[in-house]
Structure 1
Amino acid sequence: MPAFRLDDGRFRYPDSNDGGSWEVCNPIAEKKAVNILNQERNRNLKNLAKMVRSWKDTHGVPLSGMLIDTLAYRFFQSNREYDESGYASYKYLVKDFFAYLVDQPAEKEFWRAPGSGSEVYKGGKFIPKAKKALRKCREALDDENQADKKWREIFGKKFPVKKVVTKVEESARDYRDTEQSIEDMFPLNIQYGIELDANIGKDNRMLALLSKLTSRVSKERDLKFFVQRTDHIPEPFDIYWKVKNIGPEAERKDMIRGQITKGGRYQEERSDFSGEHYVECYIIKDGFCIARESISVPI
């Protein structure tokens, strides 16, 4: 976009939102502040920010890149434990950073950017997903055998894992793995948060909402998933769904599924197989995945 340098080194730029206005930013001061602290912290600041971006894209966390940089900067300002740490300490570094996110005031709307002091607003609620990430970090640290799996659950499928498949395991695999990944279909640019829920019914009668259920979903129930909230995502956009069946029963019947299909605001399914299943929803706009969310379906 066009920007005009002011006498004090800042820039004035046009913002077309809410009827249009002229705003002021100071990216040079922000970049300088980040670079200085990054060098003082053995380049760990920028590496942490990159890892958090992977978490954000994998789990649809409504955090802008600028807010990630700001929070990472504030974290290193308040924590000197990792000033000279290397990669061997990163598992503890990311765990402590997620704990830092969890401790942020839920009612807080903006943080001050490094260098410029500009207000950086949050795009939605990120603390609940930070709590899940923190729990998985602790699980990875507590169980070395499951560590790679847990780190991949946090940071996505690009996180490398060591896997040895024996001939017995390979021959025992008698079902098709048809799961698809949204990352292979659309580039990720997560900007918004969404919420999912489902109506649970039987014989055309609604029995409960999935989010309110305190027990497992019974078999032979009608499930109508829907997008409950979209954080004011500007239309038009497309909605894609993925339904993944997990467990021995789904494997035996060769019904793992996991394909991604284009749909609408509702996705109708049936609770036919026992297992820890899940449904994911993706918002696609201008060729990018800009929001994603999943919901567990224990049957």
Structure 2
Amino acid sequence: MLSQSFQQFMELLQIDNETDINTKFKSITKRLNTSYYPDNTSEEDHGYKVGSLGRQTAIKGISDMDMLFVLPKSKFKQYNDHKSNGQSALLQDVKEQIRKRYPNESIIVRGDGQVVVITFSNYEVEVCPAFENSDGSYKYPDSKKGGKWKRTDPMVEIGESEYMIGETNEHFKYICQMVRAWKNNAGFKMGGLLIDTLVHKFFNKYPQYMTVTFEDYLFLFQDLFQYLKSQDKEKKYWQALGSRQPVFDKSKDFISKAEKAYNKIKDLNEESEDLYENLQEVFGITFPVPETVQKAEFSSYAYRSIGAAATTEQFIERMFQVDIKYTLKIECEIKANGFRVGLLRNLIRNKKRLPLSRKLRFYIEENEFEKKRNGAPYYIYWKVRNRGPEAVKRKCLRGEIEKGTSEHVEITSFKGEHFVECYIISNGICVARDTIDVPIFETPFPMKVQS
């Protein structure tokens, strides 16, 4: 039964807009071939899908397509000898060539100055112009700080991913995809190349999983999360699968998030009463729960923890496409009788709970998307969820997702393990999210919005 849930989950994660992605890829490739190669209107020559799509590890809801377009070697001298920042000049030229095909779309050179970005209705295409090196790798432009050339070797990474997919009967691909689903559900930024690299290293460390089946997935993820949480927080970078190029992750958020996921599932087996509830907490509400479990153990848990008639709760996954690519941090200021008494995360860190009648001002402490959005509009949504017997008794579970501002005010009301979540939505995609627990130990009234 559990193996069927994992298999169904895998099927739910597969990309469902591949036809549209392929159409855009071919159209852009044809336009650039027309611009840079005389008498060449091919939809395939010199263009390559790279990134997660190229490595076949992308999932449904992916918000960008990374593509490489290889320019004629004769063009390199033109931009390398440019009087000032030839890398920027190259990116601007590619931008203008693409604009000939998409005059009405938003086309920018992204803030990091390495790719040209075309924004469509529900995803972006990131075009990286490049020149092939003699060893088969590529050099691409970086226009920051006066301009320089950087090296990348995506074809070797794609080749190694394809090899592992074949060696594991596709399970390397499925595990990489489920790690992406976990990342999106937990709400932290982690690059696709780092995900694939660490899963690749995991398979090499635990070769018994090279012949894994869906029946082994619970044990595999117990070992995988233990492996991820054990990574060195002081490590500066990991060497990418295949290419061994450095892959950086400054925040290392995945380590602490993996520890939480590990603690959720480390003692589970197929007979555990809380098996599916914990798997949904790790992988998201879309993780399939068998009908027999929904009618028995899972419905019992739902009544006990979140209430039998919890029909008002909304889930961001059912409202928007989710692809977490930016860091979002929310904090909460606690006030009593008009005076500031501290921050909620500090209170939680000290393993304390909130008393009644406290005013809570939730606010965005860090919004990385704001810094990198290049003028793209975005919206802020909040969710307040009450949990526990008191919430059920008073029929005040809440859980609706509502548009708001950078601040949201509540008052502590009744005891329970509540939580507040914030989302950043841009172009119909949830690109960042964060959650903060609100543990309240005693009070007579439900947590409510301060008017």
Same fold (TM over 0.5): yes
Q: What's 2:277 paired with?
A: 149
SS, match of residue 140 in structure 1: coil
Tell me if structure 2 keeps the 8 A contact 1:63–1:123. no
1:136 and 1:266, CA in 2 relative to 1: closer, same or farther beyond 3 A?
Answer: same
Q: Name the amino acid aligned to 1:202.
A: A
1:24 equivalenced with 2:158 (yes/no): no
Supply the AA of the counterpart residue of 1:226.
Answer: Y
Q: 1:229 aligns with which of 346, 366, 370?
A: 366
User: Do the aligned residues in 2 keep the contact of 1:62 with 1:123 (CA within 8 Å)?
Assistant: no
Name the SS of the counterpart of 2:372 in structure 1: coil
Q: Is the 8 A contact 1:33 1:115 kept in 2?
A: yes
The range that moved more, 127-136 or 183-192, is 183-192
Separation in 2, partners of 1:18, 1:51: 38
- 1:126 aligns to 2:254 (yes or no): yes
Supply the AA of the counterpart residue of 1:196: I
Compute the displacement of 1:53 (Å): 0.6
Aligned mates of 1:220, 1:63 — CA distance in 2: 38
Q: Does 1:220 align with 2:357?
A: yes
1:262 to 378, 387, 403: 403
Deviation at 1:35, TM superposition (A): 1.7
Q: Aligned partner of 1:204: which letter?
A: G
Unaligned runs of 5+ in 1: none
Matched, 1:181 2:290: no
Deviations 1:92-136 (A, max 9, x none): 111111111111110223211111122211152211111000001
- Structure 1 residue 176 displacement after superposition: 5.4
TM-score, structure 1 as length reference:
0.90
2:137 maps to which residue? 10
Q: Does 1:77 align with 2:204?
A: yes
2:34 is the alignment partner of 1:34: no
Gaps of 5+ in 2: 1-126, 441-451
Match of 1:206 among 337, 340, 349: 340
Q: CA deviation at 1:175?
A: 4.8
Structure 1 residue 283: deviation in Å?
1.8
Paired residue secondary structure (2:415):
coil
- Separation in 1, partners of 2:435, 2:271: 25
Max Rg structure? 2
Residue 89 (structure 1) aligned to one of 213, 216, 221:
216
Equivalent in the alignment of 1:159: 287
Corresponding residue of 2:447: none
User: How many angstroms apart in 1 are the aligned matches of 2:268 and 2:296?
Assistant: 21
Q: String of CA shifts for 1:253-273, please: whole Å, max 9, x gaps.
A: 332111112222221101112
**For each residue in 1:24-50, what CA deviation from the matched residue of structure 2 results, as whole angstroms up to 9, or x when unmatched?**
222111111122233223332111101
2:153 is matched by which residue type in structure 1? N
Using CA pairs under 8 Å that are at least 6 residues apart, name the structure with larger relative contact order, 1 or 2: 1
Q: 1:186 to 1:3 in 2, by over 3 A?
A: farther
Give 3-state SS (helix, strand or coil) of 2:392's partner.
helix
Q: Distance in 2 between matches of 1:171 and 1:217?
A: 24
Q: Secondary structure at the match of 2:323?
A: coil
Give the paired residue count: 298
Hey, what's the Cα distance between the residues in 2 that align with 1:28 and 1:8? 11
Distance 1:294 1:142 in 2: 29
Change (3 A) 1:137 1:19: farther
* Distance in 1 separating the partners of 2:146 and 2:318: 37
Partner deviation per Cα, 1:220-275 (whole Å, 9 max, x = no partner): 11011122233474245432211111123223333211111222222110111221
In structure 2, the residue matched to 1:285 is 426
The 2-side partners of 1:68 and 1:106 are apart by 16
Indicate the RMSD between aligned Cα atoms, in angstroms: 2.6
**1:193 matches 2:193:** no
Task: Measure, in 1, the Cα distance between the counterparts of 2:397 and 2:327.
Answer: 27
171 and 178 in structure 1: CA distance in 2 versus 1, 3 angstrom threshold = closer
